[in-house]
Amino acid sequence: MSAALRKLIILIFAAGLLFGCGRKHSRVLETDYVSAPQVTLRDQLAQVYNRVGTAKNGDRVDVVDREKRFAKVRTATGLEGWVEQRYLVSQQVFQAFQSLAQQAKDSPVEGTGSTRNETNLHVEPGRDTEHLYQLALGAKLSVLKRATVEKSAASTAFKAPGNPAKDSKPMEDWWLVRDSEAHVGWVLGRMIDLDVPLEVAQYAEGQRIVAYFQLNQVTDGDKKVAQYLMLMAEPKDGMPFDFNQARVFTWNVRKHRYETAYRERKLNGVLPVTVSEEDFGKEGKLPTFTLRVKDDAGNVVERKYKMNTPIVRRVG
């Protein structure tokens, strides 16, 4: 065999090896996302292993192999290692969260709050539904919408407020929220504390504050003080309404304190609430708010109110 032929055979063999390695490297079974706060990438499936690196919550990874309850993944930076499959969710779950964020992009905010503990963002209300993003203790949230589900039931039990179950199964309230990174998902209601100012929250009288809105501000000396609309309900999950009480708190500039300017009870209230400002001629521009309530026939009707401090009147 001539030297030239041997060289050619060696080149073909080397090219075949490179091609095979390239094919192995590009082999991707599926794309998943990390649902745990952080996962360790192992170099092997054994009790003793080396830590190759880490992947954090929400990271996209390519699954290149599987073995029992483990998946071998490749990160965006090229690191490869083994992780437990239970710490990953599918591309379909990620897309569901993307769709949820798109659907909620124009949803009005019913209040802001923060998490009481570390908790998960679920793609649907319910403890057994898929989750991806994790929220840290004290994470800031915008609260968008309420739903109620059977306790510890899957998402198939989800129903909108106002359709109580025929039986007396225990229910839980869930809230659709948006976090500081624009992730949208469902959080168990009791995991959220609304950022209601203490000066007005103290007047809740044992009721649950569902939502709150700043109507305007008044000047008291050298400071501006906000005036609020606050919506409340009984301190129970699974109620057939979002709220059944509305109160307006105005600031008395002479006595330097909040006072109740308006109160309405026995409402079959449905979120969202609209807060705006309108021109009322001689009265000038005044804050308005519109409550959505169900009548005796179950139809949702709107009630509009205006506030000319400290008087609140219904105008429609």
- Give the tens place of pLDDT for each residue, 85-99: 999 999 999 999 999
pLDDT class of 16 with cuts at 50, 70, 90: very low
CATH 2.30.30.40 for domain 104-192, yes or no, is yes
Domain(s) labelled CATH 2.30.30.40 in the chain stretch across 27-89, 104-192
237/20: higher pLDDT: 237
- Whether the per-residue pLDDT at 15 is higher than 50: the answer is no
CATH topology of domain 27-89: SH3 type barrels. (2.30.30)
* Rounded distance between C-alpha atoms, residue 133 and residue 57, angstroms: 6
CA dihedral 157, 161, 166, 167 (to 10 degrees): 70
Q: Using alpha carbons, list the distances in angstroms from residue 279 to 10, 219, 249, 285, 287.
A: 86, 20, 21, 4, 9
Phi-psi region of 16 (alpha: psi -120 to 50; beta: other; left: phi over 0): alpha
Mean pLDDT of the chain: 89
What confidence tens digit (pLDDT) does each residue in 96-126 have?
Answer: 999 999 999 999 999 999 999 999 999 999 9
Could you write out the DSSP letters of every residue in 207-269? Answer: PEEEEEEEEEEEEETTEEEEEEEEEEE-S-TT-SSSBSEEEEEEEETTTTEEEEEEEE-S--E
- Average pLDDT value for residue range 216-238: 96
Count of C-beta atoms within a 10 Å radius of residue 212:
24
Q: Are the C-beta atoms of 75 and 61 separated by less than 8 Å?
A: yes
What confidence tens digit (pLDDT) does each residue in 195-224 have?
Answer: 999 999 999 999 999 999 999 999 999 999
Q: In the prediction, which pLDDT does 36 show?
A: 94
